[in-house]
Amino acid sequence: MHRTDVCLAPAQGLTLSELGTVQECQKHCPECFRSSLFFDPENAFGRCKQRPAPQGPACRRFIAEEAAASGAKCVLTHSPTWIIDPIDGTCNFVHRFPTVAVSIGFAVRQELEFGVIYHCTEERLYTGRRGRGAFCNGQRLRVSGETDLSKALVLTEIGPKRDPATLKLFLSNMERLLHAKAHGVRVIGSSTLALCHLASGAADAYYQFGLHCWDLAAATVIIREAGGIVIDTSGGPLDLMACRVVAASTREMAMLIAQALQTINYGRDDEK
């Protein structure tokens, strides 16, 4: 696995503005840098001779899909928190369909600070850092700026529920957008990559009920830094734990989508 230009093991005592690169981590702690930071950051700190292992909750909170599947609680606190989906597009992965990604977001005081999404089969690395812009393989990302639904490509995902009532609502939402003259509606099987397509300007809007915080965290930073909007399906501010989202290239487009949707209830990540 290639190391990115985002340090995945913050050095103790440095501010967020000082954490920016792997080079900083290497300079402040060469032995720590050479350890397996990505896979075992706490033990890597523990082996470091130049400083003691971090104490307390800092650098120790993780929210991840596999952990949640094993019964771990998804609670976003004020502590620095990694929010990770190691394989987004699991069904695609199983069937060797090449739309698969790794998603890593980072939040401090419940504010999303940066996100990294790696499109594995195309070797595209999407990055975003709050206030610093969004990029794909070093090229700046910008949303399309589209405001006209009749010219918009809208992306969505089906969600995990397959009961008749949920499928009826899902298909009804798609039908509503098509009746509102959306240029097209697409499902690609990876919410994180769909959101990256929005950030890059290849699509104009995205909505979904039934996605999770690990699907949204990294992509939200990337979209916002590319000039886009990420909100709740009610039209209010995004709630990362609410399992629902509308994202768009403009606020006008986001509100058009939100107003057309019927709610599908998936509960909350922090209540499961």
| Structure confidence by residue, pLDDT tens digits, 185-228 | 999 999 999 999 999 999 999 999 999 999 999 999 999 999 99
Show the tokens assigned to 158: 């089906």
How many whole angstroms separate alpha carbon 255 and alpha carbon 144? Answer: 16
Residues 5-33 have a mean pLDDT of 40
Q: What is the CA radius of gyration of the chain?
A: 19
Given the residues 4, 24, 87, 188, select the one marked as catalytic. Answer: 87
User: Could you tell me the pLDDT band of residue 71, with boundaries at 50, 70 and 90?
Assistant: confident
Given the residues 81, 83, 85, 156, select the one marked as catalytic. Answer: 85
User: Could you tell me the pLDDT band of residue 67, with boundaries at 50, 70 and 90?
Assistant: confident
Given the residues 4, 90, 121, 147, select the one marked as catalytic. Answer: 90
Is residue 90 flagged as an active site residue?
Answer: yes
Which segment, 27-41, 53-67, 124-138, is predicted with the most confidence on average? Answer: 124-138
Is residue 204 flagged as an active site residue?
Answer: no
Distances (CA, A) of 110 to 6, 75, 77, 240: 19, 10, 6, 9
In whole numbers, what is the pLDDT of the chain averaged over residues?
Answer: 83
Is residue 215 flagged as an active site residue?
Answer: yes
Find the angle CA(220)-CA(197)-CA(221) to the nearest 5 degrees. 15
**Burial of 192 (C-beta count, 10 Å sphere; 0-12/13-18/19+):** buried
- Residues ≥6 apart with Cβ < 8 Å to 247: 195, 198, 205, 206, 207, 219, 220, 223, 228, 229, 230, 231, 254
Is residue 85 flagged as an active site residue?
Answer: yes
* pTM, to two decimals: 0.80
Is residue 65 flagged as an active site residue?
Answer: yes
Using alpha carbons, select from 174, 212, 218, 170 the residue that is nearest to residue 193: 218
Given the residues 63, 81, 84, 88, select the one marked as catalytic. Answer: 88
Stronger pLDDT, 110 or 22, i.e. the higher one: 110
